[in-house]
Amino acid sequence: MSDLVQQLSRSATADRVQARLKQRYAAERRFRAYGVVAIGLALLFLVTLLTSIIGKGSSAFFQNEIQLNITFEPAVIDSEGLRDPAAIAGADYQALIRTALGSLFPEDTDRASRRELIHLISQGAELELRKMVMNDPALIGTTRPVWLPVAAPVDQLLKGHMSRNTELGGQFNARELARIDHLTGQGLLAAKFNKWLFTQGDSRQPELAGLWGAVVGSFYSLLVTLALSFPLGVAAAVYLEEFAVKNRWTDIIEVNINNLAAVPSIVFGLLGLEIFLNVFGLPRSAPLVGGLALTLVSLPTIIIAARVALKAVPPWIREAALGLGASRLQMVTHHVLPLAMPGILTGTIIGMARAVGESAPLLMIGMVAFVVNIPATPLDPSTALPVQIYLWAASPERAFVERTSAAILVLLCFLAVMNATAIFLRKRYERRW
Amino acid sequence: MPFITLLATLLALSAILYQLGKGRALRLSGGRPGVLHSLPTYYGSYVALWCALPAFLLVAVWIIIEPMALQALVLNSLPETVRQLPLARLSLITNEMRQLAASGDYRFASSPEARAAAEHYRDLHQIGFAAMAVLVLTAGIFGGRFALGRIRPALRARNRVEQAILFFLFVSSTLAIFTTIGIVLSLLFESLRFFSMVPVSDFLFGLSWSPQMAMRTDQVGSSGAFGAVPLFAGTLLISLIAMVVAVPTGLLSAIYMAEYANPRFRAVAKPLIEVLAGIPTVVYGFFAVVTVAPFLRDLGNQLHFSVSSESALATGIVMGVMIIPFISSLSDDVICDVPDALRHGAYGLGATRSETIRQVVLPAALPGIVGGILLAVSRAIGETMIVVMAAGLSAHLTANPFASVTTVTVQVVTLLVGDQEFDSPKTLSAFALGLVLFVVTLALNVVALKVVRKYRERYE
Amino acid sequence: MDPGAERTQSNGHTKVAARDVNVYYGEKHALKTVDLDIRINEVTALIGPSGCGKSTFLRCINRMNDLIDGAKVTGSIVLDRQDIYDRNLDVVQLRARVGMVFQKPNPFPKSIFDNVAYGPRIHGLANTAGEIEEIVVTSLKRAGLFEEVKDRLEEPGTGLSGGQQQRLCIARAIAVSPEVILMDEPCSALDPIATAKVEELIDELRENFTIVIVTHSMQQAARVSQRTAFFHLGELIEVGDTESIFTNPSHKLTQGYITGRFG
């Protein structure tokens, strides 16, 4: 055997290995560095995304308001003195604001100045005043300081989102800027917590647009989704895991579930549009239909998670139950399901979290309308939180960028809470057999 | 509202019958529950099921049949001249009728005829509902009475109840199949209508896409262009960019996590990367629009280079970021599944870690990784919100990543959001696109899941 | 008492010399002050009941214990005057010199050819395709596998029978031309016929390599080895010529084990 292997043996091997070692270790270090860079890159994206959104959105939780000394002039609000709600509702509240503004800037009497002045104030201010008077007609005839929302451009300027220079996109001339500075200096302009964001429905006026309608819409949709997908998902998982005989039929079901889990969600939207709206004639834009579509989206996730949880229950539990004369269904309901429940719940919450952030199917079934009213039932037209984000993101006003980011922060908070609950459940009740 | 009242009544009825059944079983046992075949509660459930099941079945049938039956009835009662109208107009009329009847507010009826039809529709609906309610409640009561009469100590109530529950479990498990059938049927039905107006070959191989021209079918020479190739190309371009970002990043992260990282680092970094998967896609879309796209555009401007503000590049990069955790967690699983015996074999021969990974672990894990990548591609193709927000609307057939392209899902959304006419090729084309999307992603998923499953079996 | 070290002086050249080797897996003291010399061109069998530390000791010789979290090795193991636990020693190079065959055959999911060629390729032991091929063929021949697989070198190694897989792993190990080959119960997953073939092979390999084999089977130790070391509860109890260990063990525990009273 006078061959290569013979020649190589002994120290020959060691020497040749030695010769290449440096090179090989360099490759090793490079490879390792790629991994670190990749992870760093992924985390960098995450940090950029979050800081970008928090940076843009945090200011939306505050809204600049102006303090005006409003005189609730009976002549304007209720000229006949009858306290007729219809008359009060139809009164010209802008006149009150104009008067109050005029007393702040008595020298600005020309038309242009008056127009500039009223443009400082949001149109929502009138609604606010009307609401105050409707709630408490005794206000009529009194004079009191009231904080009212300023118009979106003023708000943006004060938050530093808009330049003071008209050449750089600023909307205010020197006179207006002087007025705003004057008010700020006097403490009459100040940032307050943005209650509109959490109480109002959508609005064309950014400073009045709120998330509450979308939150309620999302809540109703989710309620429908949970009510359907949890029982159905658990039932399907129990059947497949505990009762079904392994055959062609169950194979087909399995393949179907796994595929549905990976079907693009927009396809479920198309299904919802065609079946729920066109065939069954259910109302468009309703959270009920949204919930049905989201059920289809989240069902495969829940079934798969529930099956994993059921599989984790050791067989001797089942044998013990059957050995005592329990029926198979009793075995499942008394022993297997309770033991698998933490896992099932965790999977359900994760499925729900996916559904909360899902928007594509909702676009298809029309939950993408401009809805001002807060939906009262799951059949009223509504949007959902992610769809509201989509709608606001498409709005051209600068002020909506801030709101969109704030809406995203709210959505992310919901998701964080849901996922934290799921993790808590898993940690708290996880059982190792 | 009356509907909910009906359901509540049915539930209450079932609850009463449950108590009656349980009481009757106890009475029959004569104070010795041992003579009963099953626990008394099972007799109660048995009776309650006999009441509720037939009743709810009737309700379900009514819900499915009622709208169609009602529509046919109302249409038949319309004047002959209306019934002769083309299908398109007819469906408009029925839609209006339905909406008017639902709102109960006839002030906005387009014509007295429409108003009359709507009122007729509502009357029929109310009569039908009342009839159904009576029928359903009768069925419930009779079912319950029948079951009460059958209670004997020897009745195997538990087995019967369990059979019913088992049937429910079985039906739930078939839901996945019905969903798939529902998807296929609804997509196919509208797509076939579309293909009767636009030839399949024009759709699949046409190079020009401008459905907006076909707003009104009666316009002369406005058939619109429904060549979907630019959409397919745009979808592929964006998906390709996404994969170029996601595959190396995700795979290398997974390798580092699985083979190099110490447990403490892994425990922190892995969930952080998975946070990327939990962020809703609409957030990524917004991120692309307000942060990434302007950044790339400004960067391009500085390099004297034109980058569209709706560039495929920005969209693709952000989509890639979304997919990173998908690839990394799947690859991580697959790499961890490779048996240690293989690694030790390589170490025993004096291989370095990276040599072991590149030449032994990765080839062994390759099928699983490929499966994961295919699933990721299917996800990229079907992703909607990022592209709807960040990609363009108009179709350009280009491979330039700095230009604006549109995708299949963007078009589906733009075609179906807003006014829909289920008789114009414009609206119907969305379903044809949806069908293509479904078929392609389905094929990818089937192949990917097969590959992954084969891989799993190999190391079991 | 250190009978092994004593006798080595008089007989053949020592290839590996272990002194005062202790291994800890976390809290567990798995190997206690082991002194053992392994002679060149001999087969040394390590025997003893399960968990006695024989595999642990084997894995110390090419530092496979490095791969186990929390494993700590103290003492010295010298391979040709070089301490393998020296900080300057390169573990990759060490493993090229001290090859290993595992309990369960673990061919890579690659072709038979690539399995054997893998070691020479990563270590750069051959410069041309021809040389690689020569190494592969020779190694397969020496592992006694060549005749069985020569027509299907491109087929996956995982498709072979268990015995063939194990001989493939041996071929894979000897393709690197190591000086020492460690075998960790190489026949425990094989049937008797395959076992016989592998044992035959071990005996032939002795001519060119120093072999250390861990085995559960005393018959096997008796058949293939020249020297035998008996481990018990992490301690080296006795080491000596195989013949004398089996016919005339000096320690009570050894006697008990080989006559089958425990283990």
pLDDT at B258: 92
**DSSP secondary structure string for all residues of B223-292:** --EE--HHHHHHHHHHHHHHHHHHHHHHHHHHHIIIII--HHHHHHHHHHHHHHHHS-HHHHHHHIIIII
Among C122, C123, C138, beta carbon nearest to A5 = C138
Q: Is residue C263 part of a domain?
A: no
Lowest mean pLDDT among A104-108, A222-226, C138-142: A104-108
* pLDDT exceeds cutoff 70 at A387: yes
Pick the CATH number of B225-458 from 1.10.3720.10, 1.10.490.10, 3.40.50.300, 1.10.10.10: 1.10.3720.10
- The 10s digit of each residue's pLDDT in C140-160 is 998 889 999 999 999 988 889
Structure tokens at A349: 């919450």
Tens digit of each residue's pLDDT (9 = 90 or more) over B121-170: 888 888 888 888 999 999 999 999 999 888 888 888 888 899 999 999 99
- In angstroms, the CA C132 to CA C116 distance is 9
Predicted confidence (pLDDT) at residue A10 exceeds the cutoff of 70: no
pLDDT at C229 over 60: yes
Q: pLDDT digit string (tens) for B279-297?
A: 999 999 999 999 999 999 9
Q: Mutation test of the interface with chain A: which of B185, B252, B272, choosing the one with the most A Cβ atoms within 10 A? A: B252
For residue C207, the 8-state DSSP code is T
Q: What secondary structure letter does DSSP report for B85? A: S
| Closest partner CB to A270 (pick from B275, B278, B431) | B431
Q: What percent of chain A has pLDDT over 70?
A: 97
B353 contacts: CB under 8 Å, gap ≥ 6: A28, A31, A32, B259, B260
Among partner residues B253, B279, B289, which is closest to A38 by beta-carbon distance? B253
Domain boundaries, chain A: 4-58, 61-195, 212-429
CA A217, A223, A228, A234: dihedral to nearest 10 degrees?
Answer: 130
- Give the one of B177, B273, B417 whose C-beta lies nearest to A256's C-beta: B177
Domain membership of residue C217 as a residue range: 3-258
Nearest residue of chain C to residue B347 (CA atoms): C95
Is A403 in the B-facing interface, judged by CB distances under 8 Å? no
pLDDT at B33: 72
Q: Six-digit token pair at B356? A: 């072991």
Alpha carbons B431 and B189: distance in angstroms, whole number: 9
A3 touches chain C (CB under 8 A): yes
Q: What is the pLDDT of residue A5?
A: 47
Rg of chain C over all Cα atoms, to the nearest angstrom: 18
Determine the straight-line distance between the first and last CA of chain B, rounded to whole angstroms: 56
Task: Tell me how far apart the alpha carbons of residues C151 and C145 are, in angstroms, rounded to a whole number.
Answer: 11
**Closest CB to A283 among B102, B158, B448:** B102
C178 touches chain A (CB under 8 A): yes
Given an 8 Å threshold on Cβ–Cβ distance, is C95 in contact with B350? yes
For B314, half-sphere exposure in the C-beta direction (CA atoms, 13 angstrom radius) is 34
Q: Supply the DSSP string of C178-202, one letter for each residue.
A: -SEEEEESTTTTS-HHHHHHHHHHH
- Report the residue of chain C nearest B353, measured CA to CA: C92
Cβ proximity of A340 and A313 under 8 Å:
yes
Q: What is the mean pLDDT of chain B?
A: 86
Q: How many CB atoms lie within 10 A of CB B124?
A: 18
Reading the block at residue C116, the tokens are: 């054997």
Higher pLDDT, B337 or B107: B337
Query: Tell me, what's the pLDDT at A416?
Result: 93
> For residue C29, is it within any domain?
yes
Of B342, B345, B350, the CB nearest to C93: B350
CB environment B259-285: b (16+ within 10 A), e (fewer): bbbeeeeeeebbeebebbebbbbbbbb
**E strands, A126-185, in order:** 143-149
Any CB–CB contact under 8 A between C212 and chain B?
A: no
Average pLDDT over residues C198-208: 89
Say what the pLDDT of residue B314 is: 93
CB-CB neighbours of C187 under 10 Å: 25
B352 contacts C108? CB cut-off 8 A: no
Q: Quick check: C99 contacting B, CB < 8 Å?
A: yes
For position B106, what pLDDT does the model report? Answer: 67
Which among A371, A67, A366, A393 is positioned nearest to A210, based on CA atoms? A371
Cβ atoms of A289 and A353 closer than 8 Å = no
> Which residues, 6 or more positions from C34, have their beta carbon under 8 angstroms from its beta carbon?
C18, C20, C21, C22, C53, C57, C75, C231, C235, C236
Per residue in B22-68, pLDDT (tens digit) is 888 888 887 777 778 888 888 899 999 999 998 989 988 887 788 77
Q: How far is B253 from chain A (nearest CA, A)?
A: 5
Of A6, A12, A18, the CB nearest to C93: A18
Percent of chain B scoring above 90 in pLDDT: 43
Question: Mean pLDDT across chain C, nearest whole number?
Answer: 86
pLDDT of the residue at C94: 87
- Residues of B with Cβ-Cβ distance to C84 under 8 angstroms: none
Q: Tell me the per-residue pLDDT of C86-123, one tens digit each, with 9 for 90 and over.
A: 888 888 888 888 989 988 888 887 889 998 998 888 88
Q: Do the Cβ atoms of C174 and A16 come within 8 Å?
A: no
User: What percent of chain C shows pLDDT beyond 70?
Assistant: 94
Smallest Cβ–Cβ distance between B341 and the set C93, C106, C123 belongs to: C106
Predicted local confidence at residue B169, as pLDDT: 94
Interface of C with A in 63-122 (CB under 8 A): 90, 92-93, 96-97, 122
Residues of chain C contacting A19 with CB distance shorter than 8 Å: 124
Angle, in degrees to the nearest 10, between helices A11-57 and C112-123: 90
Domain residue ranges in chain B: 2-155, 225-458
- Contact by Cβ (8 Å): C21, C76: yes
SS3 category, C25: strand
Taking the C-alpha atoms of residue A401 and residue A152, their distance in angstroms, rounded to an integer, is: 12
Give me the residue from A48, A232, A268 closest to B175, CB to CB: A232
pLDDT at position C7: 38
Residues A56 and A156: beta-carbon distance below 8 Å? no
Q: Is B158 on the interface with A (CB under 8 A)?
A: yes
CB of B373 within 8 Å of a chain A CB? The answer is no
Chain A residue numbers touching B278 (CB-CB < 8 A):
353, 357, 415, 419
Residue A260 CB burial class (10 angstroms; 0-12, 13-18, ≥19): buried
- The Cα–Cα gap between C165 and B439 comes to 43
Question: At C103, which CATH number?
Answer: 3.40.50.300
Question: Chains that contact A by 3+ CB pairs under 8 Å?
Answer: B, C
Burial environment of residue A35 by CB neighbours within 10 A (0 to 12, 13 to 18, 19 or more): buried
What strand order describes the sheet that includes C180-184?
Answer: C82-83, C71-79, C14-25, C28-39, C235-241, C227-232, C43-47, C210-214, C180-184, C98-101
C120 touches chain B (CB under 8 A): no
Q: Is the pLDDT of residue A110 over 50?
A: yes
Query: What's the average model confidence in pLDDT over A8-24?
Result: 75
Answer whether A13 sits within 8 Å of C131, measured CB to CB: no
Chain C residue numbers touching A18 (CB-CB < 8 A): 93
Q: Which of A312, A386, A317 is nearest to A342 (CA)?
A: A312
pLDDT at A220 over 90: yes
Instruction: Average the pLDDT over each of A170-174, A219-223, B11-15, B161-165 and give the range with the smallest value.
Output: A170-174
Tell if the CB–CB gap between B413 and A275 is shorter than 8 Å.
Answer: no
What Rg, from alpha-carbon coordinates, does chain B have? Answer: 31
- Report whether pLDDT(C246) > 70: yes
Q: How confident is the model at residue A240 (pLDDT cuts 50, 70, 90)?
A: very high
Are the Cβ atoms of B344 and C64 closer than 8 angstroms?
yes
| Tokens at C217, concatenated | 């089977």
- What share of chain B in percent tops pLDDT 70? 91
Assigned CATH for A212-429: 1.10.3720.10
Query: Chain A window 225-244: which residues touch B at a Cβ cutoff of 8 Å?
Result: 231-233, 235-236, 238-240, 243-244
Residue C164 domain-assigned (yes or no): yes
pLDDT band at A237 (very low <50, low <70, confident <90, very high): very high
Within 8 A of A13 by CB-CB distance, chain C residues are 96-97, 123, 125, 176-179
Q: How many domains does chain C have?
A: 1
Are B413 and B388 a contacting pair, CB within 8 Å?
A: yes
pLDDT for residue C57 is more than 80? yes
Q: Which residues are B440's β-sheet partners?
A: none
Determine the residue among C79, C90, C93 to mutate to test chain A binding: the one whose Cβ has the most chain A Cβ atoms within 10 Å: C93
Query: DSSP 3-state assignment of A2?
Result: coil
Residue type present at position C153: L
